A = this chain, B = another copy of it.
């Protein structure tokens, strides 16, 4: 189509350098990559696709889009307790993509490969008449039979969450032109969280053998806690006041308290939500402190079903617990 070098040149120029640290990738000069699961370990694999106009905007910086595509997958690995190893990339490039876009996209991947210790093992590049679509398949390693699932929470376990909740949803509101009264620094901080998730890969491995259930918050805190509760056959109760907020989100809720529902159900947080018996709390706090990522106790698992969010007055809040749906 002219606006791009041919597929082979594109791969050699922009993607093969991203595979230089992955011996089994064969420099992306073949149709498949090889790898092994180290003895005593298992491989964890996840896939997530981002679609232009659905998960990112056509005018978003390509480097950020690339990093988001990688990071939503890294977040899944983190929540399962795995250390990232390799990823594959199936790119369907829309009509507006040119070589500068690809260069910037690849530079974004390169930055995150260094940050998260992951390498490109293979991929596929094709054109599409529609929106650019980026499917990433990411793999990680963790000691055998230690993967954190959703279904093993126990009654009495405490509910924890890493980092802060609600920034992604409020960042999207800012991008929609809302919250104009907020200071520029706060607006930027929220938008940055929406555009660039911070997968908690430094925390996940510390939770192995300690957390009873874990997932990353993508559908929304309440909906994702509902996933753990349902899978474990339990109820969950959290206190809204204990949900950790960034300074920017705190400023928003101080002036517009009605946005609490959007904080609790909005999604795109990419924090790890996990349940853990209290006996592990000290050990995990000490280990995780080294990573610089805070963890906060926000509630408790109990017999029953459903998720209850207690408000400041101690009464159950009424929330749309549906979370984000793709259809």
Contact = CB atoms under 8 A, between A and B. Distances in A.
A32 B327 contact: no
Given A7-B327, A124-B47, A34 B42 contact: yes
B231 A29 contact: yes
Contacts of A29: 150-151, 231
Contacts of A35: 37, 42-43, 45
A32 B45 contact: yes
Given A29-B151, A90-B47, A326 B128 contact: no
7 contacts: A7-B325, A24-B42, A30-B149, A32-B77, A48-B90, A51-B128, A94-B130
Interface in A298-327: 325-327
A122 interface: yes
A127 B10 CA distance: 28
A137 interface: yes
A28 to B, nearest CB: 12
A127 B49 CA distance: 10
Copies per assembly: 2
B46 A33 contact: yes
A200 to B, nearest CB: 14
Contacts of A130: 51, 53, 94, 128-131, 133
A255 B10 CA distance: 40
A291 interface: no
Interface in A133-189: 133, 135, 137, 144, 147, 149-151
A41 B1 CA distance: 41
Contacts of A327: 1-7, 10, 127
A110 to B, nearest CB: 20
